[in-house]
Homo-oligomer: A and B are copies of this chain.
Protein backbone atom coordinates (compact mmCIF):
# COMPACT_ATOMS: atom_id res chain seq x y z
CA UNK A 1 0.00 0.00 0.00
CA UNK A 2 2.68 2.45 0.95
CA UNK A 3 4.36 3.09 -2.30
CA UNK A 4 6.84 5.94 -1.96
CA UNK A 5 4.53 8.40 -0.26
CA UNK A 6 4.90 11.39 -2.47
CA UNK A 7 8.24 12.94 -3.02
CA UNK A 8 7.06 16.33 -1.90
CA UNK A 9 5.88 15.29 1.51
CA UNK A 10 8.27 16.68 4.14
CA UNK A 11 9.89 14.35 6.60
CA UNK A 12 6.87 13.78 8.77
CA UNK A 13 8.02 14.66 12.19
CA UNK A 14 6.24 11.91 14.02
CA UNK A 15 6.38 9.08 11.55
CA UNK A 16 8.85 7.62 13.93
CA UNK A 17 6.91 8.35 17.09
CA UNK A 18 3.81 6.92 15.50
CA UNK A 19 5.44 3.58 15.17
CA UNK A 20 7.78 3.39 18.10
CA UNK A 21 6.16 2.25 21.28
CA UNK A 22 9.19 2.71 23.39
CA UNK A 23 9.12 6.46 23.10
CA UNK A 24 6.24 7.36 25.34
CA UNK A 25 5.38 11.03 25.24
CA UNK A 26 7.72 12.66 27.71
CA UNK A 27 6.11 14.19 30.77
CA UNK A 28 6.79 17.71 29.74
CA UNK A 29 4.89 17.10 26.53
CA UNK A 30 1.68 16.20 28.34
CA UNK A 31 -0.19 19.43 28.61
CA UNK A 32 -3.74 20.59 28.74
CA UNK A 33 -5.22 22.13 25.64
CA UNK A 34 -4.56 22.05 21.98
CA UNK A 35 -1.21 21.93 20.33
CA UNK A 36 1.40 20.08 22.22
CA UNK A 37 4.61 20.04 20.30
CA UNK A 38 6.53 17.08 21.53
CA UNK A 39 10.13 17.35 22.51
CA UNK A 40 12.46 17.38 19.58
CA UNK A 41 9.96 18.75 17.10
CA UNK A 42 11.37 21.73 15.25
CA UNK A 43 9.07 24.69 15.63
CA UNK A 44 8.88 25.66 11.99
CA UNK A 45 5.80 27.02 10.35
CA UNK A 46 5.23 23.69 8.67
CA UNK A 47 5.48 21.81 11.93
CA UNK A 48 2.92 24.12 13.42
CA UNK A 49 0.51 23.68 10.57
CA UNK A 50 0.90 19.95 10.78
CA UNK A 51 0.11 20.14 14.45
CA UNK A 52 -2.88 22.34 13.81
CA UNK A 53 -4.25 19.81 11.37
CA UNK A 54 -3.70 17.06 13.89
CA UNK A 55 -5.47 19.03 16.58
CA UNK A 56 -8.37 19.71 14.26
CA UNK A 57 -8.57 16.05 13.41
CA UNK A 58 -8.67 15.15 17.08
CA UNK A 59 -11.45 17.62 17.68
CA UNK A 60 -13.60 16.42 14.80
CA UNK A 61 -12.87 12.79 15.49
CA UNK A 62 -13.87 13.05 19.11
CA UNK A 63 -17.11 14.65 18.06
CA UNK A 64 -18.10 12.78 14.93
CA UNK A 65 -16.53 9.38 15.23
CA UNK A 66 -14.31 7.58 12.76
CA UNK A 67 -16.59 7.19 9.82
CA UNK A 68 -18.30 10.49 10.36
CA UNK A 69 -15.08 12.45 10.21
CA UNK A 70 -14.75 14.48 7.01
CA UNK A 71 -11.46 15.81 5.73
CA UNK A 72 -13.28 18.94 4.70
CA UNK A 73 -14.36 19.55 8.27
CA UNK A 74 -10.91 18.92 9.62
CA UNK A 75 -9.49 21.32 7.07
CA UNK A 76 -12.10 23.84 8.00
CA UNK A 77 -11.29 23.67 11.68
CA UNK A 78 -7.60 23.87 10.91
CA UNK A 79 -8.15 26.87 8.66
CA UNK A 80 -6.83 25.26 5.54
CA UNK A 81 -8.11 23.66 2.34
CA UNK A 82 -8.68 19.92 2.39
CA UNK A 83 -5.96 18.99 -0.07
CA UNK A 84 -3.37 20.73 2.06
CA UNK A 85 -3.77 17.88 4.50
CA UNK A 86 -2.13 15.61 1.99
CA UNK A 87 0.98 17.64 2.21
CA UNK A 88 1.43 16.32 5.74
CA UNK A 89 -0.37 13.02 5.79
CA UNK A 90 -0.49 10.38 3.11
CA UNK A 91 -4.14 9.58 3.72
CA UNK A 92 -7.15 10.20 5.90
CA UNK A 93 -6.45 6.99 7.77
CA UNK A 94 -2.87 7.87 8.47
CA UNK A 95 -3.99 11.13 10.02
CA UNK A 96 -6.67 9.48 12.10
CA UNK A 97 -4.37 6.76 13.27
CA UNK A 98 -1.85 9.28 14.46
CA UNK A 99 -4.49 11.15 16.42
CA UNK A 100 -5.60 8.05 18.22
CA UNK A 101 -2.13 6.83 18.84
CA UNK A 102 -1.24 10.13 20.38
CA UNK A 103 -4.38 10.05 22.49
CA UNK A 104 -3.41 6.70 23.86
CA UNK A 105 0.11 7.84 24.56
CA UNK A 106 -1.09 10.90 26.38
CA UNK A 107 -3.52 9.10 28.61
CA UNK A 108 -0.97 6.48 29.41
CA UNK A 109 1.75 9.02 30.02
CA UNK A 110 -0.51 10.93 32.35
CA UNK A 111 -1.34 7.85 34.37
CA UNK A 112 2.26 6.73 34.54
CA UNK A 113 3.32 10.14 35.72
CA UNK A 114 0.72 10.08 38.46
CA UNK A 115 1.84 6.66 39.62
CA UNK A 116 5.45 7.73 39.61
CA UNK A 117 4.64 10.48 42.06
CA UNK A 118 3.23 8.15 44.66
CA UNK A 119 5.36 7.40 47.69
CA UNK A 120 7.22 4.15 47.49
CA UNK A 121 5.14 2.24 49.99
CA UNK A 122 1.73 3.19 48.62
CA UNK A 123 -0.88 0.48 48.93
CA UNK A 124 -2.14 -1.19 45.79
CA UNK A 125 -5.52 0.43 46.22
CA UNK A 126 -3.90 3.82 46.50
CA UNK A 127 -2.23 3.19 43.21
CA UNK A 128 -5.50 2.21 41.61
CA UNK A 129 -7.09 5.38 42.91
CA UNK A 130 -4.28 7.45 41.48
CA UNK A 131 -4.63 5.72 38.14
CA UNK A 132 -8.38 6.23 38.13
CA UNK A 133 -8.03 9.90 38.82
CA UNK A 134 -5.30 10.40 36.26
CA UNK A 135 -7.13 8.51 33.56
CA UNK A 136 -10.31 10.42 34.21
CA UNK A 137 -8.57 13.75 34.11
CA UNK A 138 -6.86 12.72 30.92
CA UNK A 139 -10.06 11.96 29.07
CA UNK A 140 -11.81 15.04 30.41
CA UNK A 141 -9.09 17.64 30.26
CA UNK A 142 -6.27 16.50 28.09
CA UNK A 143 -7.54 17.96 24.83
CA UNK A 144 -9.51 15.89 22.38
CA UNK A 145 -6.87 13.32 21.70
CA UNK A 146 -7.68 11.03 24.57
CA UNK A 147 -11.38 11.42 23.92
CA UNK A 148 -10.93 10.62 20.27
CA UNK A 149 -8.98 7.52 21.15
CA UNK A 150 -11.45 6.36 23.73
CA UNK A 151 -14.51 6.83 21.59
CA UNK A 152 -13.30 5.41 18.35
CA UNK A 153 -11.38 2.25 18.85
CA UNK A 154 -14.02 -0.30 18.08
CA UNK A 155 -15.39 1.38 14.99
CA UNK A 156 -12.43 1.46 12.77
CA UNK A 157 -11.22 -0.74 9.98
CA UNK A 158 -9.94 -4.02 11.30
CA UNK A 159 -6.35 -3.56 10.28
CA UNK A 160 -6.09 -0.23 11.97
CA UNK A 161 -7.82 -1.39 15.10
CA UNK A 162 -5.51 -4.32 15.36
CA UNK A 163 -2.48 -2.09 15.25
CA UNK A 164 -3.92 0.35 17.74
CA UNK A 165 -5.02 -2.28 20.18
CA UNK A 166 -1.58 -3.81 19.99
CA UNK A 167 -0.01 -0.44 20.66
CA UNK A 168 -2.23 -0.11 23.69
CA UNK A 169 -1.33 -3.45 25.13
CA UNK A 170 1.21 -1.96 27.47
CA UNK A 171 -1.43 0.26 28.98
CA UNK A 172 -3.74 -2.66 29.56
CA UNK A 173 -0.91 -4.53 31.22
CA UNK A 174 -0.24 -1.59 33.47
CA UNK A 175 -3.81 -1.65 34.71
CA UNK A 176 -3.90 -5.36 35.04
CA UNK A 177 -0.79 -5.38 37.15
CA UNK A 178 -2.32 -2.79 39.46
CA UNK A 179 -5.35 -4.98 39.93
CA UNK A 180 -3.34 -8.11 40.36
CA UNK A 181 -1.17 -6.51 42.97
CA UNK A 182 -4.25 -5.38 44.86
CA UNK A 183 -5.73 -8.83 44.70
CA UNK A 184 -2.50 -10.48 45.81
CA UNK A 185 -2.45 -8.23 48.83
CA UNK A 186 -6.04 -9.03 49.62
CA UNK A 187 -7.24 -5.51 48.96
CA UNK A 188 -9.86 -6.50 46.41
CA UNK A 189 -13.08 -8.26 47.17
CA UNK A 190 -12.80 -11.93 46.21
CA UNK A 191 -16.20 -11.74 44.51
CA UNK A 192 -15.01 -9.44 41.80
CA UNK A 193 -13.57 -10.83 38.64
CA UNK A 194 -10.39 -8.93 38.03
CA UNK A 195 -10.71 -8.63 34.29
CA UNK A 196 -14.34 -7.58 34.38
CA UNK A 197 -13.67 -5.11 37.14
CA UNK A 198 -10.81 -3.51 35.31
CA UNK A 199 -12.84 -3.01 32.17
CA UNK A 200 -15.93 -1.83 33.97
CA UNK A 201 -13.91 0.79 35.76
CA UNK A 202 -12.18 1.96 32.62
CA UNK A 203 -15.49 1.88 30.79
CA UNK A 204 -17.05 4.13 33.39
CA UNK A 205 -14.19 6.60 33.12
CA UNK A 206 -14.21 6.53 29.35
CA UNK A 207 -17.89 7.29 29.27
CA UNK A 208 -17.39 10.56 31.08
CA UNK A 209 -16.64 12.67 28.01
CA UNK A 210 -19.98 11.61 26.58
CA UNK A 211 -21.99 13.24 29.28
CA UNK A 212 -19.82 15.47 31.39
CA UNK A 213 -20.84 19.06 31.37
CA UNK A 214 -18.68 21.35 33.48
CA UNK A 215 -21.63 23.64 34.08
CA UNK A 216 -23.63 20.89 35.64
CA UNK A 217 -21.01 19.08 37.69
CA UNK A 218 -17.62 20.58 38.46
CA UNK A 219 -14.71 18.46 37.38
CA UNK A 220 -13.57 17.97 40.92
CA UNK A 221 -16.91 16.49 41.85
CA UNK A 222 -16.75 14.02 39.03
CA UNK A 223 -13.29 13.00 40.14
CA UNK A 224 -14.37 12.60 43.74
CA UNK A 225 -17.40 10.60 42.77
CA UNK A 226 -15.44 8.32 40.49
CA UNK A 227 -12.81 7.75 43.13
CA UNK A 228 -15.33 7.06 45.80
CA UNK A 229 -17.32 4.61 43.77
CA UNK A 230 -14.55 2.68 42.14
CA UNK A 231 -12.18 2.40 45.00
CA UNK A 232 -14.75 1.59 47.59
CA UNK A 233 -16.54 -0.65 45.13
CA UNK A 234 -13.47 -2.73 44.64
CA UNK A 235 -12.29 -2.83 48.19
CA UNK A 236 -12.94 -5.70 50.47
CA UNK A 237 -14.03 -3.91 53.60
CA UNK A 238 -17.81 -3.81 53.19
CA UNK A 239 -20.17 -6.72 53.45
CA UNK A 240 -22.06 -7.68 50.34
CA UNK A 241 -25.76 -7.25 50.14
CA UNK A 242 -27.77 -10.29 50.92
CA UNK A 243 -29.28 -12.24 48.13
CA UNK A 244 -32.21 -9.90 47.93
CA UNK A 245 -33.12 -8.93 44.44
CA UNK A 246 -30.16 -10.64 42.91
CA UNK A 247 -32.16 -13.77 42.22
Chain A residues close to B by CB (< 8 Å): 64-68, 118, 122, 125-127, 129-130, 133, 151, 154-155, 189, 191-193, 195-197, 199-208, 210-212, 216-217, 221-222, 224-235, 237-242, 244-246
Are B196 and A222 in contact (CB-based, < 8 A)? yes
- The residue of chain B having its C-beta at the shortest distance from the C-beta of A235 within the complex is B238
**A246–B230 Cα gap in the complex (Å)?**
13
CA distance A233 to B129 in the complex (A): 13
Please list 10 pairs of residues, one from A and one from B, whose beta carbons are closer than 8 Å in the complex, sorted by A's number. A68-B155, A129-B246, A189-B228, A193-B224, A197-B229, A199-B212, A200-B207, A232-B240, A238-B238, A241-B242
Q: Is the CB of B122 within 8 A of A245?
A: yes
Number of copies: 2
Cβ contact within 8 Å between A233 and B241: no
Min distance, Cβ A239 to any Cβ of chain B, angstroms: 6
Q: Shortest beta-carbon distance, A58 to chain B, in Å? A: 16
Given A155-B64, A189-B228, A196-B221, the answer on whether A245 and B207 have CB atoms closer than 8 Å is no
Given known pairs A125-B241, A206-B207, the reply for A155 and B65 (CB within 8 Å) is yes
Is the pair A229, B228 in contact by a Cβ cutoff of 8 Å? no
Task: Give min CB distance, A240 to chain B, whole Å.
Answer: 6
Ranked 8 nearest A-B pairs via Cβ: A203-B207, A233-B233, A67-B67, A229-B233, A204-B204, A65-B155, A67-B68, A196-B225
Closest B-chain residue to A244, C-beta based?
B126
Instruction: Pick from A133, A151, A226 the residue with the most CB of B within 10 Å.
Output: A226
Name the residue on B nearest A68 (C-beta): B67
Q: Given A193-B222, A199-B211, does the pair A228, B240 have CB atoms closer than 8 Å?
A: yes
A229 to chain B, nearest CB (A): 3
Cα separation A229 to B221 with both chains bound (whole Å)? 19
Question: Please, how many angstroms separate the alpha-carbon atoms of A222 and B212 in the complex?
Answer: 26
